[in-house]
Amino acid sequence: MAPHPTATHLLRAQEVIARCKTLARFTEDPPRICRTFLSAPMRDCYLQVEHWMGSLGLEVHTDAAGNLRGVYPGVEGTARRIILGSHLDTVPDAGAYDGILGVVLALGLVTSLEGRRLPFAIEIVGFSEEEGVRFGVPFIGSRALVGRLDEGLLKRCDANGISVREAISAFGLDLAAIPDTALNDGVLGYVEFHIEQGPVLENRGFPLGLVEAIAGQTRMELFFTGAANHAGTTPMSLRHDALVAAAEWAVAVEKEAQETAGLVATVGVLEAKPGAINIIAGQCRATLDVRHGSDAQRKLSVKNILHRAQEIAERRRVTLTSTTTLVQAATSMDAFLTHEIETAVSRSGITPHTMVSGAGHDAMILAEKVPAAMIFLRSPGGISHNPKESVLVEDVAKALECGLHLLDQLATSSEFLTRTRRA
């Protein structure tokens, strides 16, 4: 068991949690928490976080991709900086901590410095979008920082026909400045605190975990198309039921995951049309999410899953089309930063525990350009993407302690201070 946090860290942890709950009030769907890319509640959220940043002396601005960015200056004359942060958007009916905790905890770390300057600046970034809710593609905010907010993404539309480009303009941001959001050579690294969103740390009794890699993802959309017909007059042997085909395939997806070590695969949506009780479904839209720490295994499993879909469609006399909406390679975290985090965790009186994240995070995007690392906090009950999502105040206090040790270690590390951005 880790030593009990100090009274100071506990007080700051309580403030972090209270601030997360404050931000939960900014929502599109009260009383449920839902805050999507550049929505009206996101503006209110920014104003609150901007106020907190300003009170700590951070230089604050919102970039052209809607990311809220605040810089706590380092010692005079330094242009180098480390980035801390996470995302401020949420899924529908969310909890108060996924993403948001990483931003607010970073503010807590700056507060804990009590005005002390380091040989690098600290930039806190609240990413505008990570969840992929509004436009069906995640990581809009962090993609901008690595120069991947391209024309194809800007043209994507939400359910109301509003494009990413139009949403950015409507928020009052300058589209022409999107190239300026990209990271420069002065960034030494990125560290993200995040709730685990799973049960591993709780089951093993650890308050914190070191993320050594983030699993790769494939997301797809499939359409099973048969023939709509009368439910009462069409014999079972003559049906072309798209929904039943999709349902059988969903079970096959589960079987593939159960039989493949380390694989998780999810059919999150089965949407039948016309969608009436007395009509055989003529079409069924299905979604697929496949994740694994090995890109080779993930690709093989996706191939197997699509093969089963085609077999089922042919046997049930329906047609099948599929589209890939996201392919994200598995990402290893930076070895140097992870080692420094391991040291900081140990100095906090915690046994280091390394793990692979099954969930995607902004860290996997920023890792394309800068050294990146992640620290997980225990998720009580393993619950996330749910109003019951929570954190323990003692764990947040330990995260603050660990974060301060990490900043102090990096401040005296010649290897860290002379790092350059990845090509």
Report, as an integer, the average pLDDT of 294-309: 97
Q: CATH says 216-328 is which class? A: alpha beta
CB atoms under 10 Å from CB of 57, counted, come to 12
> Tens of pLDDT along 150-188?
999 999 999 999 999 999 999 999 999 999 999 988 999
C-alpha span between 38 and 160 (Å, rounded): 14
Instruction: Give the phi and the psi of residue 159 in degrees, each rounded to 5.
Output: -65, -20
- pLDDT band per the 50, 70, 90 thresholds, residue 378: very high
Whole-Å CA distances, 199 to 119, 153, 284: 37, 34, 33
Between CA 360 and CA 380 the distance in angstroms is: 20
Q: Return phi, psi of residue 245, to 5°.
A: -60, -45
Between helix 393-411 and helix 7-23 the angle, nearest 10°, is 110
By C-alpha distance, which of 51, 31, 34, 32 is closest to 42?
34
CA–CA dist 84, 104 (Å, integer):
10
Query: Model confidence over 324-361: pLDDT tens digits?
Result: 988 989 999 999 999 999 999 999 999 999 999 999 89
Query: Where do the domains of the chain lie?
Result: 7-215+330-417, 216-328
Span 397-418, average pLDDT = 97
Nearest CA among 246, 203, 202 for reference residue 392: 202
Asked whether residue 142 carries a pLDDT value surpassing 50, the answer given is yes
Mean pLDDT of 191-213: 96
Confidence (pLDDT) at 406: 98
Cα–Cα distance, 270 to 282 (Å, whole number): 13
- Quote the CATH superfamily of domain 7-215+330-417: Zn peptidases (3.40.630.10)
Q: pLDDT by residue (tens digit) across 206-261?
A: 999 999 999 999 999 999 999 999 999 999 999 999 999 999 999 999 999 999 99
Above 60 in pLDDT, residue 280? yes
Q: List all residues 6 or more positions away from 417 whose beta carbon is below 8 Å from its beta carbon.
A: 80, 119, 120, 188, 410
Supply the pTM of this predicted model: 0.86
Cα separation, 234 vs 240, whole angstroms:
10
Report how far residue 46's alpha carbon sits from residue 241's, in angstroms, rounded to the nearest whole number: 48
Give the chain's mean pLDDT: 96
pLDDT at 326: 86
Provide the pLDDT for residue 77: 85
Residue 420 has pLDDT above 80, yes or no: no
What pLDDT score was predicted for residue 242? 98
By C-alpha distance, which of 206, 219, 218, 217 is closest to 355?
A: 206
Predicted confidence at residue 244, as pLDDT, reads: 98
Q: Which residues contact 407 (CB under 8 A, 6 or more apart)?
A: 82, 109, 113, 118, 122
For tokens 């494939």, name the residue: 218
Average pLDDT over every residue of 105-133: 97
**Cβ atoms of 10 and 393 closer than 8 Å:** yes
Whether residue 422 is predicted with pLDDT greater than 80 in this model: the reply is: no
Give the pLDDT confidence score for residue 328 in this predicted structure. 85
Residues β-bridged to residue 225: 283, 319
pLDDT at 3: 79
Residue 381 DSSP symbol = G
Secondary structure tally for the chain: helices H, strands E: 13, 16
Three-class SS of residue 23?
helix
- The predicted pLDDT at position 423 comes to 39
Residue 243 is predicted with a pLDDT of: 98
* Backbone dihedral region for residue 60 (phi beyond 0: left; psi -120 to 50: alpha; all else: beta): beta
Average pLDDT over residues 38-65: 98
- With pLDDT > 70 as the criterion, what percentage of the chain qualifies? 99
